[in-house]
Structure 1
Amino acid sequence: MTAGTGRRVRIAVTLGDVSGIGPEVVVKLLAQDAVRRRADIEVLAREDEIARAADEAGVSVPVAPTPSPDAVATMAPHVAGPVERGTISQAAGERALSDLSHALTRYRDGAVDGILYAPLNKSALALAGMNEKDELRWFARQLGFDGVTSELNVVPGLTTARVTSHIALRDVPARVTPTGVLDACELLDQALRAQGIDHPRLAVCALNPHAGENGAFGTEERDVIAPGVALARERGLRADGPHPADTLFLRAFGGEFDGVVTMYHDQGQIALKLRGFDEGVTVQGGLPVPIATPAHGTAHEIVGQGVARPGPIERAFEVVASLAEHARPAVPAPKAET
């Protein structure tokens, strides 16, 4: 049930980049009775697409005009052109963006509470005209949202947030600020509470080796990161750090912390993907609508072989459903100008 409404949570699902394994993992997800009992599901696809993908994957997906515990509903507002499988193309990017745009419209219309999308390909999205460096910034622009956002990454037992994300390493130090550290801590705390953790324990990474070694290897820890941690603690967050990144994840995976704030993309992603590449989930944190996707890619090399594992999208579905259940009722965002 969605928090405070007495109804089942409603999730829009897209096939992601249809040239990849998105259709296969989506039908393997939707074929599960437990998944359909968990939420009312709308799939942004034609019924024949779902039937064809299910037949190829060796599963059965019940479809009905309206979603229920017994069936999913399909919805295809776009005019679908041909998309070549197993290759990067403008057509695949256009289809992915069309589906995501319609999923956002369904949210604005109050029809869904969260969005789950299968893996995308950034090159295909760029060919299709997406100018943003990542989906998070694209979602924010489409929603007319200018608040604090951060990509959150989830593996079993640990969630991470970032102070900076898809930027060059040479630009990171100047973009790390006390306010940025505070913002990342607050988003991470909110996400962990939505996952059912009442008093999240947060650790904050250092930027420099050995946490700067008292200024010998850099002063960002003393001048920027520690003040940000102090601000978070003043807000009542259980934040601690900065800690050397090369040992912090050993402590976090050992159960000492529920979440880790990193300073840049690979600082956290390397650790999480080594820990659970087949279980990772990416959450578009801070947006008014919960949005999640598996952390893996489109896997063109195995398209059509029926061997794609549904585990990551199963976890992404559970994460977005949980976030949607705990989300406050949102005021529909204005439609972006086109």
Structure 2
Amino acid sequence: MSINKPRIGLFIGDATGIGPEIMVKVVAQRKVLSNCFIIGIGDHRVFRLGQKIAQIELEYPVYDDIAEVDSSKGNFVFLDLKNLDPKKLILGQISPISGKVVGDSLKLMVQLAISKRIDAVVYAPLNKEALYRGGYPFKGEIGFFAHLMKVKDGYGEMNVLGELWTSRVTSHISVADVSKNITQKKVLAAITQADSTLKRAHIEYPKIGVSALNPHGGEGGLFGREEQKTIVPAVQEAKRLGINVVGPYSADTIFLRISTEKLNAIVTMYHDQGQIAMKLMGFSEGVTVNAGLPIIITTPSHGTAFDIAGKGVANPNALKEAILLATKMASWQS
């Protein structure tokens, strides 16, 4: 194995969900390991449980200290944190114990990335409620990561499906609170974040489409004035900054413009406005990028799938895509 390959830290995710299973299934695929060196991170007992569920046995070195990891031993090794006994958990149920371990483990991974022990962080699905109840008072992991790295603004989630990226102005808030949070400053921030992130992904002059908030783009104010008051001025300001941006386009047609307008990214106004479209187009392949942070962090766009946890039927493709994207991004930065 070449020591020049990106070192990807791969966390097992919430142990009560499908994370251990899909991690095993991904590691078993040679294509995933061909361009990177993966350090699996978590409790090894949980990873062994994942192998049992997936009915796949893997051979790999296990380490207690990352300083001892030998990258010449193959393309995959496991760093055993010894921090979670799976016998204390019930698959498919929210566990504050598992949530705390998730928070503790991700905190460690951020430290490893900042200290250059790993080149990117990839994690299998976690459960936000479990994380919160486990002692990490954040509504989502992006806020948690920003807190750890003391990033105050300019960060947010981006979703990737194939060559299409999406960003959003608001995220994990009540639908009732969306409109009052659509400000010119926040719309412009989402556009500039999309532009800078895609340029980091080696797309030199990305074309970004911006979605409207109201039906039919507000119909000149008949159905709402957010477009006129905030979204259009933000788009105009982004153009003055040299960003290749178009819109706002009606939310019910903007995804139809991907090919006709050759869009690289779409900025939506709220969570489900973009996520419904992305998951319809490729639920099992979508990736979330925690953008605007000093390190690379990716994860599948889907959740812990408690309803099928332990059944051995989980699809690992989104986790695979998260690893492949993180590998590309790490290679671009090297």
**For 1:203 and 1:85, how far apart are their aligned partners in 2?**
41
Partner of 2:223: 217
1:266 aligns with 2:263: no
Q: 1:173 to 1:68 in 2, by over 3 A?
A: farther
Give 1:134's aligned residue.
140
Aligned residue in 1 for 2:252:
246
Distance change in 2, residues 1:48/1:174 (3 Å): closer
Query: Which of the numbers 75, 78, 84 marks the counterpart of 1:74?
Result: 78
- Pick which of 207-216 and 30-39 moved more: 30-39
- CA-atom RMSD in angstroms: 2.1
Cα distance between partner residues in 1 of 2:151 and 2:178: 24
SS in 2 for 1:42: strand
Structure 2 residue 14 is the aligned partner of structure 1 residue 21: no
- Structure 2 equivalent of residue 287 of structure 1: 293
Give the Cα–Cα distance (whole angstroms) in 1 for the partners of residues 93 and 331 of structure 2: 37
**Worse-matched range after superposition: 64-73 or 205-214:** 64-73
1:315 aligns with 2:321: yes
Gap change, CA 1:164 and 1:8, over 3 Å in 2:
same
Between the two proteins, the alignment pairs up a number of residues equal to: 324
Give the superposition deviation at 1:47: 4.1
Give the fraction of aligned pairs with identical amino acids, expressed as a percent.
Answer: 37
| Contact 1:62/1:72 (8 A) holds in 2 | no
Aligned with residue 276 of structure 1, among 277, 282, 289: 282
3-state SS in 2 of match to 1:139: helix
Q: Are the counterparts in 2 of residues 47 and 63 from structure 1 also a CA contact under 8 Å?
A: no
Cα distance change on mapping 1:300 and 1:311 into 2, 3 Å: same
Question: What code does the residue aligned with 1:79 have?
Answer: N
User: Paired residue for 1:206?
Assistant: 212
Q: What is the rounded CA distance, in whole Å, between the counterparts of 2:35 and 2:245 in structure 1?
A: 33
Question: Residue deviations 1:196-238, cap 9 Å, x none?
Answer: 4322111001111111111222222122111111121122211
> 1:216 is matched by which residue type in structure 2?
L
Match status 1:41 vs 2:47: no
Q: CA deviation at 1:23?
A: 0.5
Query: In 2, are the aligned partners of 1:37 and 1:69 still within 8 Å (CA)?
Result: no
Equivalent of 1:7 in 4, 7, 22 = 4
The 3 A distance-change label for structure 1 pair 92 and 172 is same
DSSP 3-state at the match of 1:19: coil
1:59 aligns with 2:56: yes
Whether contact under 8 Å (2:15, 2:46) holds in the other structure is: no
- Work out which of the residue numbers 122, 125, 129 in structure 2 matches 1:123: 129
Question: Which residue of structure 2 aligns with residue 334 of structure 1?
Answer: none
Give the letter aligned to residue 161 of structure 1: S
- Look up the match of 2:312: 306
The amino acid of 1:80's aligned partner reads L
Secondary structure in 2 aligned to 1:86? coil
Could you tell me the TM-score, scaled by structure 1's length? 0.89
Provide the residue aligned with 2:65 in structure 1.
none
1:59-84: CA deviation from partner (whole Å, max 9, x where unpaired):
34332343458232222335324332
* Equivalent-residue separation in structure 1 for 2:219 and 2:188 (angstroms): 23
